[in-house]
């Protein structure tokens, strides 16, 4: 297998030279696109969309048909893993993801076993291989998973975006139980991501959406240590091509040196850090991905171009930057602002390469 025709994304992650700064956008296939909403309506609901390889392929390709993005990302969700563990994922309309059977009892935690990605997550692997075929080697495909800690947050709280009272209560009151869950999650994530690579994923990303809610010491013990365990278990080369790994802790700006030291190729940045300062801290070890505030995409094309230019200038000359937002694109984003962003990054970045 040769590298994709447009391999700027893979090259930037490996800090090899590129003619311009590549860009993709977190949640690039999503509700800000009318065609996504139409396909989702055909599927019936979000999980049916994820479980149907034809439809998952269709929505993965939609943003690429509109914008000259430099990477595709598997259309799925991080919560497929706890769902496969039997926790009963559902999406309450307008409320985000929820679990029917969150982990609240010691016996349920002791019963937890790692998932088999080729068992009831085979639909994800089918989507990966079908998307690879549809991409026809134009741009690389990113596979992904939630981090062991972020998955544990949903598994214990039963939903996201809380104050994490239950998870933190367990971290301080029964750390043995939380470590048990995290160990099962880490083993599951390794198997899940390696199966995605076997199915055709060409780069991997770990989403640690809630690690930033932890104290300094708790972050290292309950999130970072398990991401390190995951990274150590991943397939890093396939068909003679390196498979780069990106680690993104939202709210992790204080810990960049520590994240950069766990063996990943790139670190994702949210919008709270200056990317130039981040580069000075860790740019010799890893590539950086980020970090425009997604809210900027709610303004005008002129402002989008100006603010994108600031991120590019802050990173400065040389390779090792994958342009992205600091978090997922908002559902009320005008698509023409995304078009302006992709064009601005491609045009304005050439002088830095
Ligand atoms: O980036 C992409 O285009 C790939 C697809 C992708 C989705 N979710 C699709 C999705 C990816 C990479 C994710 C990751 C994900 N899912 C994370 C980590 C990244 C982050 O945002 O921090 C998290 C925490 C989740 C859990 C989850 N799933 C949430 C919080 C939601 C949103 C709930 C809401 O209504 O806003 C989902 C649902 C979801 N996952 C949607 C999409 C496009 C929207 C669902 C819909 O169509 O109704």
Task: Kindly report the three-state secondary structure assignment for every residue of the chain.
Answer: CCCCCCCHHHHHHCCCCCCCCCECCCCCCCCCCHHHHHHHHHHCCHHHHHHCHHHHHHHHHHHHHHCCCCCEECCCCCCHHHHHHHHCEEEECCCEEEECCCCCCHHHHHHCCCCCCCCCCHHHHHHHHHHHHHHCCCCCEEEEEECHHHHHHHHHHCECCCCCHHHHHHHHHCHHHHHHHHHHHHHHHHHHHHHHHHHCCCEEEEEECCHHHCCHHHHHHHHHHHHHHHHHHCCCEECCEECCEEEEECCCHHHHHHHHCCCCCEEECCCCCCHHHHHHHHCCCCEEEEEECHHHHHCCHHHHHHHHHHHHHHHCCCCCEEEEECCCCCCCCCHHHHHHHHHHHHHHCHHHC
Task: Determine the distance separating the centroid of ligand 1 and the alpha carbon of 58, expressed in angstroms.
Answer: 17
Give pLDDT tens digits for 176-231: 999 999 999 999 999 999 999 999 999 999 999 999 999 999 999 999 999 999 99
CA 146 – CA 6 distance, rounded (Å): 27
Confidence of residue 250 (pLDDT cuts 50, 70, 90): very high
Q: What is the pLDDT of residue 109?
A: 97
Q: Is CATH 3.20.20.210 what the domain over 35-66+71-235 is classified as, yes or no?
A: yes
Q: What is the pLDDT of residue 94?
A: 77
pTM comes to 0.97
Give pLDDT tens digits for 70-116: 999 999 999 999 999 999 999 877 788 999 999 999 999 999 999 99
Task: Determine the distance separating the centroid of ligand 1 and the alpha carbon of 75, expressed in angstroms.
Answer: 9
Q: What is the mean pLDDT of residues 137-157?
A: 98
Taking the domain 1-28+258-353, which CATH number applies? 3.20.20.210
CA 338 – CA 129 distance, rounded (Å): 27
Q: Residues with catalytic annotation?
A: 27, 31, 40, 77, 154
Ligand 1: lining residues by beta carbon, under 6 Å: 26-31, 40, 46, 73, 75, 77-79, 96-97, 144, 160, 207, 209, 328
pLDDT-above-90 percentage for the chain: 96
pLDDT at 303 over 90: yes
Q: Do domains 1-28+258-353 and 35-66+71-235 have the same CATH topology?
A: yes
In this structure, the residue with its CA closest to atom 39 of ligand 1 is: 77
Tokens encoding 327: 């978090």
Closest residue by Cα to residue 323 from 28, 2, 5: 28
Residue 199: Cβ within 10 Å count: 22
pLDDT at 343 over 80: yes
Give pLDDT tens digits for 107-119: 999 999 999 999 9
pLDDT-above-70 percentage for the chain: 100
Q: What is the pLDDT of residue 283?
A: 97
Question: In a mutational test of the pocket of ligand 1, which residue from 9, 25, 27, 330 has the highest number of ligand atoms less than 8 Å from its CB?
Answer: 27
Average pLDDT, the chain: 97
Q: Where are the domains of the chain?
A: 1-28+258-353, 35-66+71-235
Confidence of residue 1 (pLDDT cuts 50, 70, 90): low
In this structure, the residue with its CA closest to atom 45 of ligand 1 is: 46
Question: In a mutational test of the pocket of ligand 1, which residue from 39, 78, 227, 338 has the highest number of ligand atoms less than 8 Å from its CB?
Answer: 78
Chain-centre distance for alpha carbon 298: 22
In this structure, the residue with its CA closest to atom 42 of ligand 1 is: 30
Task: Determine the distance separating the centroid of ligand 1 and the alpha carbon of 328, expressed in angstroms.
Answer: 8
Q: What is the mean pLDDT of residues 33-58?
A: 97
φ, ψ at 309 (rounded to 5°): -60, -35
Q: What is the pLDDT of residue 2?
A: 75
Task: Determine the distance separating the centroid of ligand 1 and the alpha carbon of 352, expressed in angstroms.
Answer: 33
């Amino acid at each position: 297998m040769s590298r994709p025709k447009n391999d700027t994304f893979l090259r930037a992650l490996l800090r090899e030279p590129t003619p311009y700064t590549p860009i993709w956008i977190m949640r690039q296939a999503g509700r800000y696109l009318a065609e996504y909403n139409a396909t989702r309506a055909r599927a019936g609901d979000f999980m049916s969309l994820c479980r149907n390889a034809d439809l998952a392929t269709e929505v993965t390709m939609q943003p690429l048909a509109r914008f000259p993005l430099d990477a595709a990302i598997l259309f799925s969700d991080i919560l497929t893993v706890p769902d496969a563990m039997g926790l009963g994922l559902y999406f309450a309309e307008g409320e985000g993801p929820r679990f029917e059977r969150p982990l609240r009892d010691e016996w349920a935690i002791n019963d937890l076993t790692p998932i088999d990605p080729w068992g009831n997550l085979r639909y994800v692997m089918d989507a990966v291989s079908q998307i690879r075929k549809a991409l026809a080697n134009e741009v690389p495909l990113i596979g992904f998973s939630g981090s062991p800690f972020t998955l544990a947050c949903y598994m214990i709280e039963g939903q996201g975006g809380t104050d994490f009272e239950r998870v933190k209560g367990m971290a301080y009151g029964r750390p043995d139980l939380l470590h048990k869950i995290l160990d099962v999650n880490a083993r599951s994530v390794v198997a899940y991501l390696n199966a995605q690579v076997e199915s055709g994923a060409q780069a991997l990303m770990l989403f640690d959406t809630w690690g930033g809610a932890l104290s300094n010491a708790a972050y290292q013990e309950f999130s970072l240590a398990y991401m390190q365990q995951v990274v150590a278990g991943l397939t890093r080369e396939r068909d003679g091509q390196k498979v780069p790994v990106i680690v993104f802790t939202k709210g992790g700006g204080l810990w960049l040196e520590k994240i950069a030291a766990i063996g990943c190729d790139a670190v994702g940045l949210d919008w709270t850090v200056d990317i130039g300062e981040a580069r000075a801290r860790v740019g010799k070890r890893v590539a950086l991905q980020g970090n425009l505030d997604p809210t900027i995409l709610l303004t005008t094309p002129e402002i989008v171009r100006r603010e994108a230019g600031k991120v590019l200038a802050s990173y400065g000359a040389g390779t090792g930057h994958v342009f992205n937002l600091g978090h997922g694109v908002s559902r009320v984003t005008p698509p023409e602002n995304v078009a302006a962003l992709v064009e601005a990054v491609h045009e304005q970045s050439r002088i830095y390469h």
